[in-house]
Amino acid sequence: MSLHLREFCPVTETEDLIAFLTGESWPFHGVAKLTEETVREQIANGRYHSDEGKKTFWAVDEGEQRVGLVRVFELGDPTPMFDLRIAERYRGRGYGLAALRLLVEYVFTTYEDKPRLEGHTRFDNHAMRKVLHHAGFVKEAVHRQAWPSADGQLHDSIGYAILREDWLHNTVTPIQWDDFPY
């Protein structure tokens, strides 16, 4: 499988972004079904691209088909975060893992001052948790009842991160969970 990231152009691709986000269901996000009005407002407010450290990329296959979207934000902070969305017809085929690996490479080669990249997902999003694990991310946190869904239910959120040093050396630094003597 060949995949690459191509930066979203807010000037020429706004309608494409709206169609992509509203044409899919995102069951593990806060709002599973986005409306055109919501996405237009998000675009206008700089959610997908801004000079304040937000960039969005299309995940594009060898035939130039858009299979997903990767948004990286908080690039002005030491720990940027990301959002990854793969179109339903491409899920379960390795595109999420490939896109995340490309994003990690982009962040760590473009922003040499970033020591880590962080992502969060719902506890029950097993596919994304598997992608994070296979991309070298380490589970660092469980935030109990912190992820609201559209139906008002609160889900646990799981925090993951990859360290620049681990990425550079293809290692995984384990977490010291039992650091308290009591």
Q: Which two tokens stand for residue 136?
A: 């070298």
Domain count of the fold of the chain: 1
Q: Domain for residue 148, yes or no?
A: yes
Find tokens 């801004």 and name the residue.
50
Answer whether residue 181 shows pLDDT above 80.
Answer: no
Per residue in 14-68, pLDDT (tens digit) is 999 999 999 999 999 888 899 999 999 999 999 999 988 999 999 999 999 999 9
Residue 178, domain member (yes or no): no
Give the tokens for residue 72: 């990286």
The pairing of beta strand 66-73 with beta strand 81-86:
antiparallel
CA-to-CA distance for 110 and 113, rounded, in angstroms?
9
* Residue at 175 is within a domain: no
- Predicted confidence (pLDDT) at residue 8 exceeds the cutoff of 80: yes
pTM of the model: 0.94
Q: Is residue 180 part of a domain?
A: no
At 31, which CATH number? 3.40.630.30
Q: Identify the domain containing residue 107 by its residue range.
A: 3-169
- Residue 54 confidence (pLDDT): 96
- Return the beta strands (E) in 74-151 as ranges: 81-86, 116-122, 138-148
Say if 81 falls within a structural domain. Answer: yes
